[in-house]
């Protein structure tokens, strides 16, 4: 009997705590706004800028930075022409210089 009463009291206390938490959430204006938005749209919060699109943007920015860095390095630091960076002969010459036997 004692165990059953304690279980019943535990359940009542748990329900009381849950009701208090719900009351706190209702008082919070942000939670009310979120509930209203969900009720209007019928959907939960969605990302405006999806993760897959973020990854594509990052990859594109990395390629742009690589190209700009190569142009600046070859034309400003190396005193070459900026357009020569995009020629195959230039990169063949650079790889020959790097892999040259000593």
Question: Using one digit for the tens of pLDDT, what is the confidence trace for 10-41?
Answer: 888 888 888 888 777 777 766 666 666 666 66
CB–CB of 97/91 below 8 Å? no
Q: Flag whether pLDDT at 102 surpasses 60.
A: no
pLDDT tens digits, one per residue of 41-53: 666 677 888 999 9
Is the pTM for the entire model greater than 0.75? no
C-alpha distances out from residue 82 to 33, 66, 79, Å:
55, 14, 9
């Amino acid at each position: 009997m004692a165990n059953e009463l304690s279980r019943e009291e535990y359940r009542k206390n748990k329900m009381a705590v849950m009701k208090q938490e719900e009351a706190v959430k209702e008082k919070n204006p942000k939670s009310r706004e979120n509930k209203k938005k969900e009720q209007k749209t019928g959907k939960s919060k969605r990302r405006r800028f999806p993760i897959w699109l973020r990854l594509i943007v990052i990859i594109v920015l990395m390629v742009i930075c690589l190209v700009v860095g190569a142009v600046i390095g070859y034309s400003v630091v190396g005193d070459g022409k900026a357009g020569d960076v995009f020629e195959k002969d230039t990169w063949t010459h650079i790889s020959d210089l790097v892999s040259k036997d000593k």
